[in-house]
Structure 1
């Protein structure tokens, strides 16, 4: 124990020194930092009086195509005001500095010979064409730029014309397979198979950046499709590392596709592909609009980002509780017990990347320091997320902005969406996150896997995130650049409510923001009728954040909305087998038949041998067919794929919530009614009613009721005579009308 104490002190001293060292590490970033924030103009924003899928999009005013050496539109078509501050990243994309658009020090400086000659606030880049080839070494593709046009004309290797520029301020890319004799002809397309891939990409972002998009990266991600004759388009605005504003993502994707079709005509079909955030973007764009995507291949997907935050923002609260607040902290050092509360996987003995942070913070909080002997998906997958998307004072991208701009800006996902969700009296974006009435660990209590005392103490002390105007920046030092941050306020503990009279207050989300999230299409409600092959590797044993259960949240929402999910195929593969090419082949068969069918019936065109499946590491099908993924999520006996690849849940499912994960704010019932109605199963909580009422003065979640955040017009009535408070709980009414 003395050795651990000495080590913790040593690390703390090193951290203090590292903070001083860090001051000189970001000079290059600061050279191109945003100097001042421009004023946003009132670009057109759709009026969300009903769901976005029922709202007509405005007519395009820009005359596509963008000419060579021209700059594309720098204001969007219908997704609201330009966001400022906005950091230009064309240099990171190997496109050089952006074009000057002002001399008022708005945006980033533009240099010539180390002298500032102007500024760019909207990051415009002139459209240009380059040529690339693809080479394969050790089974890995590499995109190689051909610098000389004459060399391109003589090449014997596969040749691709790459166009890049900016649309909606984001960097777009068009890749077209061509013959060498077509070099110099922008419109040549003889090697194109008439099929188009729209590439989406993932990551976590809160806006304020143009984003990086290197042509070589776009190409290597879809190398096989390019070699097969597909054309590929993409945009940094369709990478969620830079924004989760799905309205802006749709607006941008529509225009990028318009640039393509204005040059080459309409493709036979357009199929989306992309992982994580690039998967959920496909679900939402296809649900919310027509004319962009005809089929989807979401990889490692979630149904959407915003309902993911419901349980993801629980993670640091729970880690804070287990580390600092639990009565018996030793009991929670058994990481497999944490599954009972967190739902997601946790493994004893699994190495924790930032495990050294725990003894530092325990020491600073007055506890005996100890190193963790395991980890969880909550840590391995979601560490830092609460600070990044939920804390307006954090701003992990702040090195790209002057201190003056940093101090003026609220850095959060909620602020990125504030023009849609609204703002509070402090000017901060309204948040949808809520944990009023949530009984963490309820299922474990009912199953007698935790004690009543553990259940009560957890729920009394877990607390919630403080209101945004009370939040403070995390205390972090970066001794080795951005690679090894040392968190001196682990789990955001200084931004978590503390007990008052032994009860830590909970957080109430904004119903206005929740309703706007539904209206503006940020929530996947299952209204999707085009072909979908949802594919993922099984990564639960890696504690990867891309948990298998997310595909089934989407499945349940589709079934609730449409009465079936026959157009929704799920594939789960061993991590050593990549089923993506097979998915493209199946999707091509499906969409080609659909395009040639007079009935236009998605299910009639579906290949007979395309079914839910799981794959072993050699690519062989372990099991396939209806019911292979059955399990707790749909209240059926375990299917063969579910047994082969076990699925985990979330903190809200383990608190009694539904597997569709679609409830922002649960309706409440009095504690007495909860006891009487059997919420606690066979556990007799009648002796604890007073303590439960102290913990849950407003009541506990009634997950048989209707989400208090869902707009009423989306919910069907059992019959025309029912009162407003008797709405049926889960059936979405949105019509299939599309624009």
Structure 2
């Protein structure tokens, strides 16, 4: 099954390419071969001089520096080594390190091509071209979208008027002023962990002003917590009496002092936090010993596409469990889903941050990603868009990706609107509200109507391209909708400075504010239009089909619903016609891994902690109705991930699924810590396997027994009894996955079909529940056909990610990573 999914030979992922380079010519395992050759009377070729980049591919270097390894010929003496970049001697940067390797940090690289040469013993020479991009990006995600408004040391108020109006700026948490690319000078601060852990607060010890100034008031500052768990540390002052110690995972007990590096990368603001000894130096070639070489990458939640630079959503202080064990933790606002919904740009930022760590702190053993909701999207999409950036992920509130999650959002918006139309009100006029809601639940595929209401309110307007007035479900029982009077937009810009669908011609040149326009360098524009191509589509979708077949709704309700449900245009404005996707965007979504690819996900170790968030009316034992304010993280999404991996890789044994319900979305007890420690064990075993076994097989072989699937039944008040019989888990109504509107319409649970292929209406599909008149009306609705779910989606194809978008939308596969050549 796995081999049948392989395309020709796409470009290697960044980490995979580095691994291939490091594996080549290392001299390991040559003894037997050498003996055989000697016995056969053949002379083994002498090892040549070789140059390797350590932290990234040589053609994807950023920020003007690169950690480089020189592999010397066997008889070459280190003192004879001469290294130069663009003719400039950098030999002094290189030395033999504690691990026996000859490495050095090459700095001062120019933007573009840089020729690195090395010469040693007997005149042997090698050359490698390094291609360097600025820290402001981009590298391979295409042209950066403008306008984009930089953060400032103190937030500034809105300025200008009309089309030239600018939004208020966010506080950067940095002292320097941004340049034109939003680069701000990097800063370092020291903090220590207080022993007053029982009552301390994990808030940031350096919060930024949160409210921009006005004409009459200065920026409103937020003071540090009075009982902060982490406090500023002055290495020149006396040792704090309340300074804690910590023991790392390799049994080093050290003072709990943390250095926080804050800077900018790819127009995002980042924090890097790690245990630090102020009395000792730290370099990439000589890291401090309390860092275990492991990286924990935290991704922020939600989703959005505002055009304002901001600090990361996650406070590094909240990751003390990782920091205290010796991990380096990192986050960047461009990898926070609420701030950036261009997933290729997000993955590029992860690559750039990992290179920053490699070049500034030392080689990385492995990287674990983590996040909830939008953070789970970014975790999974890294594994799909650029496999190898993350070696393992631990997620909660899991979604597979943003494009296919949009299917349920869009369907719920259309259905909630349709339920309020007079045609449905007329059909349901004699029913009780409970009967009406039961029909809605059957069509939606959810336990009740509240989940679609939640999608409508939380993200129903997220696709709006310009100025709009929010519409919200005001009554969770009836589904009544109200419209707010104040217009807004999703760019977080003044309304006068963005596109307005009410004035399409006059404002066509102004920024558009939906996810597809934000990622326009990936999707491209609609020919002859300033709008971006996108993937939204509901042509041929028969809403409520399963509900009809099961007798939950009548034939008249089914036909009427599909007559009136309609679709949206590119601005997300409702219309009578169905929504139609752009074929080029569909093909890009699959080829680039933007639709999370099971084949790519299979290469990553996954622990998915799936809680209950399917309803805020029907709740498990121990919860109060209304606890889940926006129930949108549905059980079935975790199974969609599993189904995709199994379909494309033969099995989903790289995904551990830990289910619970009693505590909502928050893992109970020590589950989150257990997942972190189990994933650490899993990745340690994975990296210990240096065989040539394919990565997806290594991941499965390294999986620890402690990661096996289980559930905690909601009736278990202690939440401590792990049930491993999946049939028992599935029998519980709060652990069993429900459906989505597309699945009720006949679609697969893996929900990876963005636009279906069509087939003619077949009378046999409706269980005899439609009369001749209703069938005729249905054929009129679906004049081009209904979804044929037995076929792949339109444009659906095997992912060949990662793709390079430097040359424009659509992307092309990367070639092999550059290697040094003899001179």
How high is the TM-score relative to the length of structure 1?
A: 0.72
Superposed CA offset, 1:586-644 (max 9, x none): 1111111222234462222211232111125534134125xx1x6xxxxxxx7457555
| Matching of residues 222-241 of structure 1 within 5 Å | 222-241=319-338
Which of residues 519, 531, 535 is equivalent to 2:605?
531
CA contact (8 A) 1:382 1:545 kept: no
1:381, distance to aligned residue in structure 2 (A) = 3.8
Moved more, 660-669 or 683-692: 683-692
Query: Gapped runs of 5+ residues in structure 1?
Result: 1-47, 99-104, 112-116, 347-374, 472-494, 498-503, 631-637, 715-734
CA distance in 2, matches of 1:296, 1:544: 23
Q: Secondary structure at the match of 1:344?
A: coil
CA distance in 1 between partners of 2:567 and 2:303 (Å):
22
Shift of 1:447: 0.4
Q: Secondary structure at the match of 1:261?
A: helix
**Contact 1:393–1:410 at 8 Å: present in 2 too?**
no
Q: Alignment length, in residue pairs?
A: 583
Task: Give, in angstroms, the shift of residue 54 of structure 1.
Answer: 7.1
Q: Residues of 2 paired with 1:687 and 1:591: CA distance?
A: 61
| C-alpha displacement of 1:516 | 1.1
Question: What SS does structure 1 have at the residue aligned with 2:658?
Answer: strand
1:173 aligns with 2:260: no
Q: 1:738 and 1:549, CA in 2 relative to 1: closer, same or farther beyond 3 A?
A: farther
Q: Which has the higher helix share?
A: 1
Query: What does residue 160 of structure 1 align with?
Result: 258
Give the one of 117, 128, 131 matched to 2:190.
Answer: 131
| 1:299-322 Cα shifts (integer Å, max 9, x gaps) | 211110001111211112111111
Among 440, 443, 450, the alignment partner of 1:376 is 450
Tell me the CA shift for residue 344 of structure 1. 2.7
Secondary structure, in 3 states, of the residue corresponding to 1:440?
coil
Asked if the contact 1:51–1:520 (Cα under 8 Å) also holds between the matched residues in 2, the reply is no
Greater radius of gyration (CA): 2
Q: 1:492 maps to which residue?
A: none
Tell whether 2:660 aligns with 1:573: yes
**Alignment equivalent of 1:264, drawn from 361, 371, 395:** 361
Judging changes above 3 Å, is the alpha-carbon distance between structure 1 residues 409 and 572 closer, same or farther for their aligned structure 2 residues? same
Q: 1:435-477 CA distances to partner (integer Å, 9 max, x unpaired)? A: 1111110001000111111111111111111343xx6xxxxxx
Q: Deviations over 1:524-550 (max 9, x none)?
A: 021222211111322223352111111
Q: Does 1:506 align with 2:547?
A: no
Task: Select the residue among 633, 636, 641 that pairs with 1:546.
Answer: 633
Output the CA distance in 1 between the equivalents of 2:299 and 2:178: 30
Residues 176, 189 of structure 1: 8 Å contact kept: no
8 Å contact kept, 1:254–1:292: yes
| Range that drifts further, 268-277 or 149-158 | 149-158
1:656 matched to 2:750? The reply is no
Q: CA-atom RMSD, angstroms? A: 3.7
- CA shift for structure 1 position 274: 1.0
Q: Is the 8 A contact 1:134 1:143 kept in 2?
A: no
Matched position secondary structure for 1:237: helix
Aligned residue for 2:574?
496
Residue 417 of structure 1 pairs with residue 510 of structure 2: no
Give, in angstroms, the shift of residue 143 of structure 1: 4.5
Aligned position for 2:475: none
| 1:149 match | 234
Structure 1 residue 418: deviation in Å?
1.9
Alignment partner of 1:691 out of 777, 781, 788: 777
1:436 to 539, 546, 567: 539
Contact map agreement 1:313 1:385 (CA 8 A) in 2: no
TM-score (normalizing by structure 2):
0.65
Aligned with 2:407 (options 295, 310, 314): 310
Q: Is the 8 A contact 2:490 2:514 kept in 1?
A: no
Q: C-alpha distance in 2, partners of 1:640/1:404?
A: 51
Task: Name the counterpart of 2:79.
Answer: none
SS at match of 2:188: strand
For the structure 1 residues 551 and 337, does the alpha-carbon distance in structure 2 shift closer, same or farther, using more than 3 Å as the test?
same
Q: Is the aligned partner of 1:457 residue 2:560?
A: yes
Over residues 645-688 of structure 1, what are the superposed CA-to-partner deviations in whole Å (9 max), with x where a residue is unaligned?
232211101111110111111111112xx22xx32235355553
Who is 2:416 aligned against? 319
8 Å Cα contact 1:202/1:276 also seen in 2: yes
Q: Residue 709 of structure 2: which of 612, 617, 623 is its match? A: 612
Q: Do the aligned residues in 2 keep the contact of 1:177 with 1:191 (CA within 8 Å)?
A: yes
- 1:624 counterpart SS class: coil
Task: Kindly indicate whether the alpha-carbon contact (under 8 Å) linking 1:194 and 1:230 is maintained by their aligned counterparts in 2.
Answer: yes
Which residue of the partner structure matches residue 305 of structure 2?
206
Structure 2, unpaired ranges of 5+? 1-6, 18-56, 67-104, 109-132, 158-163, 171-175, 207-230, 245-255, 469-487, 500-506, 620-627, 801-812, 818-823
